[in-house]
Amino acid sequence: MNKEITPCPKTEISAFSKLQEYDYAEFNSQKNQAIKAHFISQKFQFMRFKSARYEKCYFENCTFNAVGLSGAHFLSCDLNNFEITDTNMQFCDFSRNCTLKGVEQSASICNSNLSQSMFCDSQITNVHFKSTTISQARFNNVDFQNVTWDSCTLQDDIFDNVTFDHISLIGCNLEYSEFKNINLKDVKLPFHQISYTFGLLNYLKQSPDDILIESISSKKKSIQPQEYINLLPDLLSYYIEMDEYFPAINITLFREDYDNSEELIQAGLYHYINSNDFRKIKAICKLIADHPYYDIHTMTTLYFDIIKYYNTINVSEYEKYQYSLHINDIKKILTAFDNGMPAAQLYLKTNITSLDTEKLGLFYMLIEQCLGDYKISNEEYSVEIRHNSDPLSFWLTITNQDPQTIINATAIIAAVITANPTFLQTAINVIAQVATIGSFVAQISEINKSKKKTATSEYPDVAEKDVKYVYEKSEVLKNQEISIQISLPFFNFSYRKEKLHESQS
C-alpha cells in the first residue's frame, strides 16, 4: 500500500479573496515566520498570528493591541520597550535566552492572557504586568528583575530555578503555584497568599532580611518572615474555621504537627468531595506527595479512599465532569503511575519482623522466583517496605508493556500466598475476556475474608504444572511459618496501545 500523500495543487492567493471578504485577519495567507528580522516601532492591531515563529528576531518599541498570538514561538528573541494590551498569548514559548525588557518599566503587558505558556532560559527586566492572567505556565531558569505585578493571576504555575530581584507580588493571586529552587532578593510577598502555595512557606524558614510581607488592602506596615511565622497559629485557626483546608494542612506540615495534619486531610477530603471541588482535592494530594513524611502506602490508600467515597454519593453531570478533569492527575500524584506503562500494585502485610533476616531473605527470594518464572524481570518490579511497619508490610509494584503478563504475574503471587490456584483460572478468564479485571480485583480484595481452599474443578483451564508450582511455593511459606495478607490491588492499564506497537516495530 502506497502511504505517500499527493499534495494539493498550489492555489493562487487571489483565489482566497472571497474568504478574505468575510474575515481578512484569518484568511490573509500570512505565515508569520521570521529569522533574524528587525521590527522597529511597528503597531500590530486586531491581527492573528497563526503558528507564528520568530527566531533571533528583534522587536523595538512595538505595540500589540487585541492581537491573537496564541501558540507563538519567540526563540532567542529580544523584545524591548514593548506594549502588549488585550492580547491572547496562551501556549506561547519564550525560550533560548529570550529577553523581555524595558527602560524603567517602559515595557508593559496589560489585560492579556499568557496561560499555559513556557518561559525557559529567559530574562524579564523592567516590565509592568497589569490585570494579566498567567495560569498553568512554567518558568524554568528565568531571571525577573525590577518587575511589578498589579492585580495579576499567577495560579497553578511552576517557578523552577527562578530568581526574583526587586519584585513586588502584592495583590497577585498565587494560589497553588509551586516555587522550587528559587532565589528572592528585595521581594514583597502577598500576606494572604503565602500559605496557598507550594514552597514559599518553607522558603521563609531561611528568614531572609530582604523579604517583606504585606497586603494591598491594609495600611499596616510590612512585616518580615519571622513575624509572619509567629502568626501561623492565628492563621491556622482562621483557615480551619473557614474550611480552607489546603493552607491549614500546609501550616501544620510546616510546623511538623502530623497528628493535626492527618485530621485535617481527612476532613478536607470529606468536605471537598461533598462540595465536588476536585481541584482543591488535587492540591491537597500534591501537598502530601511532596512531603517526605508520607510514604507510598499512605498515598495509595488515600487514592482508594477518594475513589471509594466518591462512588457512594450521588453526583450531577457537572460534578462528574469536574471529577473527570482531575482524577487522572490525582492518580498520578498519589500512585506515581502514568499512562505510559501498564502496572499493578499489591499491598503485602506479613508476620516478618525486622529482626527475622532469614525469613526476610526467603520472602524476597520467593517474590523474585515467582515473578521471574512468570516473565517479569528484576527491572520490572519493585518491593518497598512500608514506613514504620513492624511486622513488616510491603508494596509490590509490577510493570510490563503487556497487560496479560502483569495479570499472570499478579495471579501467581496471589495463588502462592493463598495456596489457591483459582487466581490463575481468573487470570485466564480475564485474558480470554470472559471475566473483567474488576472481578479479578474483587477476588483479591476478598482473600483475607476467607481462607477456604477451592476444589480442583474450579480451575479446569490451569495447567497441571502451574498447580504444582503453586503448592510447592506455598509449602515453603508454610514450613517457614511465614504468613502474608494481600490487599489493595490496583491496576493501571490506561495506556496508549500505539506505544506498545512502536516498541515492537
pLDDT tier, 494 (very low <50, low <70, confident <90, very high otherwise): low
Give domain limits for the chain. Answer: 13-225, 238-335, 343-504
Specify the higher pLDDT residue, 410 or 457.
410
Q: Which of 4-18, 174-188, 249-263 has the lowest mean pLDDT?
A: 4-18
| Percent with pLDDT over 90 in the chain | 56
**Which pLDDT tens digit goes with each residue over 398-436?**
888 888 899 999 999 999 999 989 888 888 888 887 777
pLDDT at 498: 35
Q: Which of 25-29, 133-137, 323-327, 406-410 has the lowest mean pLDDT?
A: 25-29
Burial class (CB in 10 A: 0-12, 13-18, 19+), 340: exposed
Please report how the helices 317-335 and 296-310 are oriented relative to each other, as an axis angle in degrees rounded to 10. Answer: 170
Q: State how beta strands 107-110 and 78-80 pair.
A: unpaired
**Which pLDDT tens digit goes with each residue over 260-276?**
999 999 999 989 988 88
pLDDT at 449: 57
Please state the separation of Cα 25 from the chain's center in Å.
Answer: 37
**Which pLDDT tens digit goes with each residue over 215-247?**
988 788 899 999 999 999 999 999 999 999 999
Specify the higher pLDDT residue, 46 or 157.
157
Residue where the block lists cell 495506556: 495
Specify the higher pLDDT residue, 486 or 136.
136
CATH topology of domain 13-225: Pectate Lyase C-like (2.160.20)
Cα end-to-end distance, the chain, whole Å: 18
Question: Beta-strand (E) ranges in 131-223?
Answer: 138-145, 148-150, 158-160, 163-168, 178-180, 183-190, 211-214
Order of strands, sheet of 484-492, starting from the edge strand that comes earlier in the sequence = 381-385, 393-399, 343-350, 484-492
Question: What is the arithmetic mean of pLDDT over 286-295?
Answer: 90
Query: Residue type at 429?
Result: N
pLDDT tier, 24 (very low <50, low <70, confident <90, very high otherwise): low
To 5 degrees, how large is the angle CA 267–CA 271–CA 277? 130
Sign of the CA dihedral with 306 first, then 380, 486, and 299 last: negative
pLDDT for residue 395 is more than 90: no
